[in-house]
């Protein structure tokens, strides 16, 4: 029940009827007609740009055409109380009181499904986090994790089928360095052997914890020769590291549906198979690459190597698939992984990438196009950096887990709800300033508190009347009408389906916390007005119940709860 899309259809149909009567002409771009909120300097409940887009084909000014359309609309739509034409030609429409009562009743009937649009269902694979399995997650991972999980919630709310996926890069040099780090910690614990001061090793205390757990399990008896026990030690170390990562994600309320391991794709020769397939399609060749930009050509050693023709699909250069030692590059492994995803018949693939992987988008998009023959839509969302502040100064928490601030530290400091809400409080493609003071104070300046407090206040009203927020309220023979402030709140509630639609179409979940904050600001302001004006209180004298007002609160509660559920944030009934 999207008020804006519904009236777009209705008004377009009405314009077509006017064309049949030869009153106006309609151009091919009639679908560009928009029904929106009136511009800030204008009034009305909804605003239509029909006159602006049809003025040229009708050979008259937008204002004159708007007046023609206005006169017809006011006759055809009984729910339109008034229509004003405003410069440069907007048609601003006001609904009557009966319309808003009907709108409110429909919202209550739809309940938790209000705002969802399940007409265009698709099958999505959303890959996010996918951090190397070499230690706990840090704050940078936190933002991408929340973005990916919220996108999944948002698309699921619209009835889509979602697979939340984690790609485990358990193959290559970084894994070997991790395993050796665990091995040296085991020697340190068992033989007082000093941990080597090597830059490639992982120094964090969590490595000691993994080493101790391996010793307790006793699945490996002899640590005198790492070559003999490497495979077993690698397996045990990665299991414990992934267990730690899953524990970190659980702190944020995140659980993936599927974990795909790079090592297993290598074992199944998935890389070789996709290389063979792309060779057959003449997308892979042996050749030479020029020195990368910024690197002196005299320091660059050219060699004949296996290259993917990614430039055919919009990339800047062709990409190497094998290292000098003959092993596959990271990109080759990623090609195999995306081939695996494509083979599972998803309609849309979404990759949530960290800021350091932004330069990787062109090559993996090119690979996906080649593998799927341009049939699969791959969308990459980049999660930019997070800067932590406290009292206006850069803030650094405990670094006991290694040379970075952990996700666990962040959640322990501010809680899951604040961490999730604030990570979404700006668009993912811009850097985020995370202010610890702001997210822990109980005021309007803390948006997550402000939204949760609104929901708690609504529940407190119903509790005081010995009612439940889900109680069915009959509005028949209701003597009350909606006042100006209540209609403003209902108008904002009516924007919820539009917010969901835009957030889903553009994959921009940050729109939801912004919307919720604006919505509850109207509610809190109305609450404050009741302190001075008894007629505006939610509970009148002698516990007289304004059923219409209570129903409005129920609608407000439905939207807050749905929005916060998409964000993965709780809605406490009392605070």
Q: Helix (H, G, I), strand (E, B), or coil: what is residue 162?
A: strand
Structure tokens at 183: 């091995």
Q: How far is CA 378 from CA 303, 341, 574, in A?
A: 32, 11, 43
**Are the beta carbons of 309 and 281 closer than 8 angstroms?**
no
pLDDT in tens, 193-211: 999 999 899 988 999 999 9
**Is 400's pLDDT higher than 60?**
no
Specify the pLDDT at position 399.
45
Distance between start and end Cα atoms, the chain = 32
The whole-number average pLDDT for the span 46-51 is 95
If pLDDT is split at 50, 70 and 90, which confidence band does 323 have? confident
**Are the beta carbons of 491 and 519 closer than 8 angstroms?**
no
CATH code of the domain made up of 128-267+384-440 = 3.40.50.620
What's phi and psi for 476, nearest 5 deg? -65, 140
**Is 480's pLDDT higher than 80?**
no
pTM: 0.92
CATH code of the domain made up of 3-95 = 3.30.1360.70
Q: Could you identify the residue written with the tokens 């000014």? A: 61
Q: What percent of the chain has pLDDT over 70?
A: 95
**Is 31's pLDDT higher than 50?**
yes
The whole-number average pLDDT for the span 431-437 is 87
Interacting residues of 42 by C-beta distance below 8 A, sequence separation 6+: 84, 86, 90, 92
Structure tokens at 277: 């397939």
The whole-number average pLDDT for the span 232-249 is 97
For all residues of the chain together, what is the average pLDDT? 91
Exposure on the CB side of residue 263, measured as CA atoms within 13 A? 13
> DSSP secondary-structure letter at 482?
-
Distance CA 90, CA 39 (A): 9
What's phi and psi for 166, nearest 5 deg? -125, 125
Structure tokens at 319: 């990409």
The whole-number average pLDDT for the span 525-539 is 87
Dihedral (CA of 333, 337, 338, 340) sign = positive
**Is 275's pLDDT higher than 70?**
yes
Cβ atoms within 10 Å, residue 284: 20
pLDDT in tens, 83-96: 999 989 999 999 99
**Is 130's pLDDT higher than 70?**
yes
Q: Does domain 447-567 have CATH number 3.90.105.20?
A: no
pLDDT in tens, 349-376: 999 999 888 889 999 999 999 999 999 8
Domain limits, the chain: 3-95, 128-267+384-440, 447-567
Distance CA 179, CA 200 (A): 11
């Amino acid at each position: 029940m999207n008020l804006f899309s519904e009236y777009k259809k209705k008004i377009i149909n009405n314009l077509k009827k006017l064309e049949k009567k030869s009153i106006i002409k309609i151009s091919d771009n009639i679908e560009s007609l928009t029904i929106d909120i009136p511009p800030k300097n204008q009034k009305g409940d909804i605003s239509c740009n029909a006159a602006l887009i049809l003025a040229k084909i009708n050979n008259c000014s937008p204002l004159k055409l708007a007046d023609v359309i206005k006169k017809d609309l006011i006759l055809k739509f009984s729910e339109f109380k008034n229509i004003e034409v405003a410069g440069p030609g907007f048609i601003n429409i006001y609904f009557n009181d009966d319309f808003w009562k009907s709108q409110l009743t429909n919202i209550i009937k739809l309940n938790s499904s209000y705002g969802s649009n399940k007409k265009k269902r698709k099958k999505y694979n959303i890959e996010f986090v996918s951090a190397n399995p070499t230690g706990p997650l840090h704050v940078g991972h936190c933002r991408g994790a929340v973005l990916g999980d919220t996108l999944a919630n948002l698309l699921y709310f619209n009835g889509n089928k979602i697979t939340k996926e984690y790609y485990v890069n358990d193959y290559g040099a970084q894994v070997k360095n991790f395993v050796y780090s665990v091995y040296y910690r085991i020697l340190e614990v068992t033989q007082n052997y000093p941990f080597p001061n090597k830059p490639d090793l992982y120094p964090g205390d969590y490595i000691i914890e993994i080493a101790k757990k391996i010793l307790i399990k006793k699945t490996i008896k002899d640590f005198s020769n790492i070559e003999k026990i490497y495979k077993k030690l690698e397996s045990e170390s990665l299991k414990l590291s992934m267990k730690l990562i899953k524990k970190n994600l659980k702190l944020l309320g995140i659980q993936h549906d599927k974990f795909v391991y790079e090592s297993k794709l290598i074992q199944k020769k998935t890389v070789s198979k996709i290389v063979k397939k792309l060779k057959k399609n003449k997308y892979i060749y042996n050749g030479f690459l020029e020195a990368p930009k910024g690197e002196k050509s005299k320091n660059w050693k050219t060699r004949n190597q296996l290259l993917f023709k990614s430039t055919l699909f919009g990339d800047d250069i062709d990409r190497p698939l094998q290292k000098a030692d003959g092993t596959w590059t990271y990109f080759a492994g990623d090609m195999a992984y995306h081939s695996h995803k494509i083979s599972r018949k998803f309609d849309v693939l979404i990759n949530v990438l960290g800021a350091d992987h932004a330069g990787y988008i062109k090559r993996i998009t090119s690979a996906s196009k080649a593998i799927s023959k341009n049939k699969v839509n791959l969308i990459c969302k980049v999660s930019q950096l997070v800067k932590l502040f406290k009292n206006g100064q850069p803030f650094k928490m405990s670094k006991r887990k290694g040379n970075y601030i952990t996700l666990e530290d962040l959640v322990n400091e501010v809680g899951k709800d604040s961490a999730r809400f604030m990570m979404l409080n700006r668009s993912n493609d811009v850097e985020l300033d995370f202010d610890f003071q702001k997210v822990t104070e109980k005021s309007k300046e803390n948006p997550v508190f402000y939204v949760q407090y609104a929901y708690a206040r609504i529940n407190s009203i119903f509790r005081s009347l010995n009612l439940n927020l889900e109680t069915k309220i009959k509005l028949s023979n209701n003597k009350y009408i909606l006042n100006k402030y209540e209609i403003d709140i209902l108008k904002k509630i009516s924007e919820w389906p539009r917010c969901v639609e835009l957030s889903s179409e553009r994959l921009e979940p940050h729109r939801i916390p912004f919307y919720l904050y604006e919505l509850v600001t109207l509610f809190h302001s109305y609450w404050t007005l009741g302190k001075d004006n008894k007629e505006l209180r939610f509970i009148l004298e002698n516990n007289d119940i304004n059923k219409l007002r209570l129903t409005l609160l129920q609608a407000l509660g439905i939207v807050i709860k749905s929005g916060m559920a998409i964000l993965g944030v709780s809605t406490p009934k009392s605070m």
